[in-house]
Amino acid sequence: MIVTILVALVALEHLYILYLEMFAWTSPRALKAFGLSKELAEETKAMAANQGLYNGFLAAALAWSLVHPNPQFALQLQTFFLVCIVIAAFYGSLTIKRSILIVQGIPALLALLAVVYATP
């Protein structure tokens, strides 16, 4: 049950990131969240939409893992995609903004630990 909750929360977080990057990139909320000027946001709008699409794929993969009928395969999906998110958060914290590790990395790491602990 805890695995399901944590994985679902990470999936929802990435859906929210998809929304910010694809549809609200130049909004005050996104500018604040990503620490951007309005000018830079306008210049990078297409790039951000592409990033948002990738975040959507991560959310979709985690959602798929929650409904997959084979529990073993579902755990493998969760493990793989959560590891991807942890690595991306670590890289993002080194190259873009430290808070990425906290905002994206910690939830994914907690979910990953729950998945590993739940794996028979």
Total-model pTM: 0.93
Residue 89 has pLDDT above 80, yes or no: yes
Q: How far is CA 55 from the centre of its chain?
A: 6
Distance, in Å, from the CA atom of 100 to the CA atom of 2, rounded to the nearest integer, reads 23
Tally of domains in the chain: 1
Residue indicated by tokens 């998945």: 115
**What was the pLDDT predicted at 98?**
92
Q: State which residues form the domain around 23.
A: 2-118
Q: Which of 35, 42, 36, 77 is nearest to 57 (CA)?
A: 77
Share of the chain above pLDDT 90, in %: 95
The model's pLDDT over 12-38, given as tens digits with 9 standing for 90+, comes to 999 999 999 999 999 999 999 999 999
Distance, in Å, from the CA atom of 55 to the CA atom of 15, rounded to the nearest integer, reads 7
Residue 118's pLDDT band (cuts 50, 70, 90): confident
Mean pLDDT of 46-64: 97
Residue 30 main-chain phi, psi, to 5 deg: -70, -40
Measured at the CA of 10, the angle between CA 9 and CA 14, to 5 degrees, comes to 115
Residue 105's pLDDT band (cuts 50, 70, 90): very high
**What was the pLDDT predicted at 6?**
98
